[in-house]
Amino acid sequence: MANIYIHYPFCKKACHYCNFHFSTKLKNQSIVLESILKEIELRSDEIISPIESIYFGGGSPSLMEANCIEKILNKIFNKYKIKNNLEVTLELNPDDFSKDYINKIKNYGVNRVSLGVQSFDEFDMKLLNRNHSPYQSIKALDYISSLYDNFSLDLIYGIPYSSIEKWKNNIKTALEYKPPHLSCYSLTIEPKTILNYKVERGEIELLHEKLVEKQYNYLIRELELNGYKNYEFSSFALPGYYSINNSNYWNGKSYIGIGPSAHSYDGKFRRSWNTSNNIKYTKAITSNKLPFNEEKLNINDLYNEFIMTGLRKEDGVSLEKVRSLFGDKYKEYLIKQSENHIINKNMFFDGDKIKISKKVKFLTDGLSSDLFFIRY
Ligand SMILES: C[S@@+](CC[C@H](N)C(=O)[O-])C[C@H]1O[C@@H](n2cnc3c(N)ncnc32)[C@H](O)[C@@H]1O
Ligand code: SF4
């Protein structure tokens, strides 16, 4: 697998909306880090040269000392062939920013930083329980944009009590830095999060769905006006700056996920995921065992995923590709299922590709599920 994802499962503080795997028991960092290095060794036969992308995600990988990032990268660089345009991304929390840190990781080979801004509004930061202020995001952006040709920032829309004006201001502030890439996510109320608990108890009122849609529509219009391609539902890039890691993922290429909870995919039928318990993970790796579960995807699963990711991408879903990957039966099924959506103009044909119309883009996931194959 030519794409490597490394999950660093620690955060200083729990954001109230997040259910990604992380622990705030920071004392366990060094043993997990040792295990991550060892897992790379143990799974060396799964890593296929040349490497196209390495992605440090989490959790908060910017909690790793710079020299730890150097160790991981050197382990990979010394053993595998690397593509010329290798992309090495690190997700950076604004509270972990320092000029010294950024200089060091750049020297060690991180050529793309993804900064978790979320919002430039103080109230939003508190509501989400972020561990940084808008001022820290600005300071980090000032420096990263001066040093890095390629960087990205994350924003969240649909935050409770937000408004279209606040969202416009977030986008305006972000665009002042001309980020080559932005990922903008709709706030999802995840189970077992404090946000979910507060919403259920009526302590926090959700933003009206229509306003969330308005924020999304403003986002896609404004970024397009500024030269960005909305190349995937939540992802925007200036030409030449599409994320290699994310694109490979959406294009069904294989990847290997290292670290607790990390997922891997062989590009065919097999998906696996590591245990998301940090202690179980380190115990297993220390005794040379790989702590994973796996599933075999059937043709219906693969078709459904192809439809979902395809409609989220600017490329859309090619009928010919569906035929060549899954056969005539699936192509015919897709034509039949999409018929009404084409008639009422929720979807349209661009050549042989089915795409979602702009006016209902916000509803992409719901619409694509109408095309899923559910007769098992
Ligand atoms: C899991 S975080 C890891 C990066 C880093 N720790 C950070 O917070 O910026 C990756 C992205 O997912 C977003 N995210 C996590 N949970 C989310 C949710 N419930 N709704 C929308 N975005 C979410 C985060 O805000 C962040 O931009
Ligand atoms: S959003 Fe990022 S910093 Fe916040 S808890 Fe999730 S992974 Fe940690």
Distance CA 263, CA 273 (A): 4
The best mutation among 19, 154, 261 to test binding of ligand 1, ranked by most ligand atoms within 8 Å of the C-beta, falls on: 154
Element (H, E) at 263: strand 263-265
Distance in Å, CA 299 to ligand 1 centroid: 31
Residues 245 and 178 in one domain: yes
Predicted confidence at residue 375, as pLDDT, reads: 58
Element (H, E) at 84: strand 82-92
The last residue of one of the domains, among 250, 283, 316, is: 250
CATH number at residue 19: 3.20.20.70
Residues 56 and 135 in one domain: yes
Residues 50 and 111 in one domain: yes
Mean pLDDT, range 327-347, rounded to an integer:
97
Residues 167 and 312 in one domain: no
Distance CA 201, CA 204 (A): 8
Distance in Å, CA 110 to ligand 2 centroid: 20
Residues 245 and 313 in one domain: no
Residue 344 in any domain: the answer is yes
Residues 204 and 145 in one domain: yes
Residue 265 in any domain: the answer is no
94 with 140: CB under 8 angstroms?
yes
Strand 256-258, strand 3-8: pairing: parallel
User: Looking at ligand 1, which residue's alpha carbon is closest to its atom 14?
Assistant: 18
Predicted confidence at residue 342, as pLDDT, reads: 97
Residue 337 in any domain: the answer is yes
Residues 150 and 245 in one domain: yes
Mean pLDDT, range 339-352, rounded to an integer:
97
109-146 as b/e: b if 16+ CB within 10 A? bbbbbbbbbbbbbeebbebbebbbebebbebbbeebbe
The last residue of one of the domains, among 224, 250, 276, is: 250
Distance CA 361, CA 56 (A): 30
- Quick one: which ligand is closest to 14's CA? 2
Distance in Å, CA 182 to ligand 1 centroid: 13
Residues 105 and 239 in one domain: yes
State how far Cα 268 lies from the chain centre.
21
Residue 268 in any domain: the answer is no
Share of the chain above pLDDT 70, in %: 99
Distance in Å, CA 117 to ligand 1 centroid: 10
The token duo for 191 is 């189970």
The best mutation among 5, 10, 18, 157 to test binding of ligand 1, ranked by most ligand atoms within 8 Å of the C-beta, falls on: 18
Q: Is 22 in the pocket of ligand 2 (CB under 6 A)?
A: yes
Over the stretch 36-87, which tens digit does the pLDDT of each residue have? Answer: 999 999 999 999 899 999 999 999 999 999 999 999 999 999 999 999 999 9
Residue 376 has pLDDT above 90, yes or no: no
SS (H, E, C) 25-83: CHHHHHHHHHHHHHHHHHCHHHCCCCEEEEEEEECCHHHCCHHHHHHHHHHHHHHCCEE
Residue 101 in any domain: the answer is yes
Residues 166 and 54 in one domain: yes
Atom of ligand 2 nearest to the CA of 131: 3
Predicted confidence at residue 1, as pLDDT, reads: 61
Q: Which domain holds residue 154?
A: 3-250
Decide: residue 294, CB within 10 A, 0-12 exposed, 13-18 middle, 19+ buried.
exposed
Residue 320 in any domain: the answer is yes
324 with 357: CB under 8 angstroms?
no
Number of domains in the chain: 2
Residue 361 in any domain: the answer is yes
Over the stretch 84-125, which tens digit does the pLDDT of each residue have? Answer: 999 999 999 999 999 999 999 999 999 999 999 999 999 999
The last residue of one of the domains, among 191, 220, 250, is: 250
Residue 195 has pLDDT above 80, yes or no: yes
Over the stretch 122-180, which tens digit does the pLDDT of each residue have? Answer: 999 999 999 999 999 999 999 999 999 999 999 999 999 999 999 999 999 999 999 99
Predicted confidence at residue 94, as pLDDT, reads: 98
Predicted confidence at residue 374, as pLDDT, reads: 82
Q: Residue 51 carries which side chain, given as an amino acid letter?
A: I
Residues 231 and 352 in one domain: no
Residue 350 has pLDDT above 80, yes or no: yes
Residues 242 and 93 in one domain: yes
Nearest CA to 185 out of 371, 365, 314 is that of 365
Residues 11 and 128 in one domain: yes
118 with 132: CB under 8 angstroms?
no
Predicted confidence at residue 48, as pLDDT, reads: 87
Over the stretch 291-320, which tens digit does the pLDDT of each residue have? Answer: 999 999 999 999 999 999 999 999 999 999
The best mutation among 10, 16, 22, 278 to test binding of ligand 2, ranked by most ligand atoms within 8 Å of the C-beta, falls on: 22
Ligand 1 neighbours (beta carbon < 6 A): 17-18, 20, 57-58, 60, 91, 93, 116, 118, 154, 156, 185, 187-188, 190
Q: Is 346 in the pocket of ligand 2 (CB under 6 A)?
A: no
Report the length, in residues, of the chain.
Answer: 376
Residue 285 in any domain: the answer is no
Distance in Å, CA 14 to ligand 2 centroid: 6
Count of H helices and E strands in the chain?
Answer: 14, 15
